[in-house]
Amino acid sequence: MELLLSIILGFMIIGAIFALHARDLLSALVAFGIVGYSLVICFLLLKAPDLAIVQIVVETVTLVIMVAVILNSTREEVKDKLRWQSALTIVLALLFIGGLVYFYQVAIAPLDELGMHTTRMAEAYIEGAAEKTGSANLVTGVLFDFRGYDTLGEATILFTAAIGVLTVLRLKGKKAA
Amino acid sequence: MIVYSLCFVLFMVGLYGVVTRRNMIKIVIGLAIMEISIFMFLVLIGYIQGAEAPIITGHETAVQFVDPLPQAMVLTAIVIGLATNAMLLAIAIRIYKNYGTFDIRKVNELKG
């Protein structure tokens, strides 16, 4: 299991690196699709079917929006190569990477091995969930019943983002009074 | 533990893209890659070997379910990620219409 997930994650990393280095933006998007749809396979392997469905929809919508943006503008990558300006930049970058790796080590230390997780907080959610929420799907039960206010906040964010997109893309501005 | 490290590597790849690329579309892709690595990491934490998907079918006896809490939180995060990506792309296309380029260093005369 861990080996299979590692192989898929390796493909995701390769796809991500190619997506960031492609000369053509359309091929960069196709490579980004590798990352997103591999995540769907990982979710299915990790016994999360709801997440897999949502991720398929979201990934497809994201790719469609990105392709629409690119077809309305340009496919060409900007010309200039990256310049390493000074030794200071490299030293700062290395220090930053070192700091991130250190905090990653600190964060990873108390975690269980993969597959050895013990449910602590979710125990109350699983216990008699069908009677409490009326939902056979525990994820739906947590999302819409135990943590319904989280979902309300999510809906607020979605609404705000839709308003923001409409405002930014509005062609005609209001006439000054 | 190696999968956790690979998730971290994927996050670093996305961060590298955000910091070094000059094309705004590439920056959005980098942010999306960082999001994806975080989703993967959170779902990996909740995984239990040999457990079933958290759906009650009615005729299981003593099966163990995968932790539903990280899955619910990641479900919220995925939808919010879509919203932020759409917002960023809208701003990018607006900047392209004004400046004729996706190069972020050419966009240096921000007037009100």
Under an 8 A CB cutoff, do B56 and A138 touch?
Answer: yes
A165 CB neighbours in chain B (<8 A) are 86-87, 90
Cα–Cα distance between A54 and A38 in angstroms, integer? Answer: 14
**Does A125 map to a domain?**
yes
3-state secondary structure of A73: coil
Same domain, A151 and A69: no
Q: With contacts defined as CB-CB under 8 Å, which chain A residues touch B9?
A: 13
User: Measuring CA to CA, which residue among A37, A47, A151, A114 is closest to residue B71?
Assistant: A47
Asked whether residue A157 falls in the same domain as residue A104, the answer is no
Local structure of A163: helix, strand or coil: helix
Higher pLDDT, A78 or A70: A70
**Boundaries of domain holding A20:** 1-76+98-118
pLDDT tier, A83 (very low <50, low <70, confident <90, very high otherwise) = low
Of chain B, the percentage scoring pLDDT greater than 90 comes to: 50
Q: Do A36 and B40 touch (CB under 8 A)?
A: no
**A118-153 pLDDT per residue, tens:** 877 778 888 877 788 888 888 888 888 888 898 999
Q: Does residue A162 lie within any of the structural domains?
A: yes
State whether A134 and A71 are in the same domain: no
- The answer to the question of residue A44 being in a domain is yes
**What local confidence, expressed as pLDDT, does residue A103 receive?**
94
**Do A111 and A143 sit in the same domain of this protein?**
no
Q: Domain total for chain A?
A: 2
Domain membership of residue A88 (yes or no) is no
State the average pLDDT over residues B10-18: 92
What was the pLDDT predicted at A60? 95
Chain B residues within an 8 Å CB radius of A51: 39, 43, 71, 74-75, 78
Interface touch B55/A51, C-beta < 8 Å: no
Confidence of residue B99 (pLDDT cuts 50, 70, 90): confident
CA B26 to CA A106: how far, in whole Å?
Answer: 31
With CB atoms and an 8 Å threshold, state whether A35 touches B33: yes
Residue A114 is predicted with a pLDDT of 80
Q: Do A50 and A109 belong to one domain?
A: yes
CA A69 to chain centre: 20
Residues A151 and A140 in one domain: yes
How far off is chain B from A119, nearest CA to CA, in Å? 6
Contact B96 A82 (CB under 8 A): no
Higher pLDDT: B14 or A78? It is B14
Averaged pLDDT for residues B8-35: 92
With the C-alpha atoms ordered B21, B22, B23, B28, is the resulting torsion angle positive or negative? positive
Co-location of A109 and A136 in the same domain: no
Distances A128 to A131, A150, B14, B51 between C-alpha atoms, Å: 6, 22, 41, 18
Q: Average pLDDT for residues A56-60, to the nearest whole number?
A: 95
State yes or no: pLDDT of B32 exceeds 90.
yes
- What percentage of chain A carries pLDDT values higher than 70? 93
- Report the pLDDT value the prediction gives residue B111, as an integer from 0 to 100: 58
B36, B57, B60, B101, best to mutate vs chain A, most A CBs in 10 Å:
B36
pLDDT at residue A156 greater than cutoff 80: yes
Q: Does residue A31 surpass a pLDDT of 60?
A: yes
Structure tokens at A106: 């600190």
Is pLDDT at A102 greater than 90 in this prediction?
Answer: yes
The DSSP code sequence of B14-63 is: HHHHHHH--BHHHHHHHHHHHHHHHHHHHHHHT-BTTPBPSB--S--SSP
CB proximity list for A170: less than 8 A, separation 6 or greater: none
Is A4 found in the same domain as A67? yes
- In the predicted model, what is the mean pLDDT of residues A163-170? 89
* Domains of chain B, earliest start first: 2-51+61-99 (1.10.287.3510)
Q: Is residue A56 in some structural domain?
A: yes
**What's the confidence (pLDDT) of residue A32?**
94
Residue A163 lies in a domain: yes
Q: Are residues A69 and A6 in the same domain?
A: yes
> Which chain A residues are closer than 8 Å to B17 by Cβ?
16, 19-20
Assess if residue A176 is contained within a domain: no
- Contact: A116, B22; criterion CB under 8 Å: no
Q: Are residues A112 and A136 in the same domain?
A: no
Contacts 24+ apart (CB under 8 A), B52-58: B52/A47, B53/A47, B53/A48, B53/A49, B54/A47, B54/A126, B54/A137, B54/A138, B54/A139, B55/A49, B55/A136, B55/A137, B55/A138, B56/A129, B56/A130, B56/A136, B56/A137, B56/A138, B57/A136, B58/A136
Pair (A53, A135) in one structural domain: no
B106 min Cα distance to partner chain A (Å): 10
Residue A49 sits in the same domain as residue A107: yes
Q: Does residue B63 sit at the A interface (CB-CB below 8 Å)? A: no
In a domain, A11, yes or no: yes
